[in-house]
Amino acid sequence: MEITVDCARDCINGCILKEKCPHREHLAQTEKFIQETSLDKMLEMAEAARLKKLTEPPKWVIPDDF
């Protein structure tokens, strides 16, 4: 019996599947990033991403039945 979990909704307060979580690999990468990256560097990266998003041209979505 396989349990379906919506991680975005069900794991808000932490992973409910623990060791059975299919995203364990990502968790390890995230923990390593947090331990090795200073908060100042993270803020710098976030600001660079925000500025990049601001300078991108708008993306138009045209429906197929237009």
Residues 33-45: pLDDT tens digits? Answer: 999 999 999 999 9
In a domain, residue 65? The reply is no
Rounded average pLDDT over 22-43: 90
Q: Work out how many domains the chain is built from and give that number.
A: 1
Q: What is the pTM of this model?
A: 0.55
In a domain, residue 42? The reply is yes
**pLDDT greater than 70 at residue 14:** yes
* Residue 50 structural domain: 7-55
**Do 16 and 4 contact (CB within 8 A), yes or no?**
no
In a domain, residue 25? The reply is yes
- Helical ranges in the chain per DSSP H: 7-10, 24-36, 39-55
Question: Six-digit token pair at 33?
Answer: 């990033």
Question: Six-digit token pair at 65?
Answer: 């039945």
In a domain, residue 60? The reply is no
In a domain, residue 36? The reply is yes
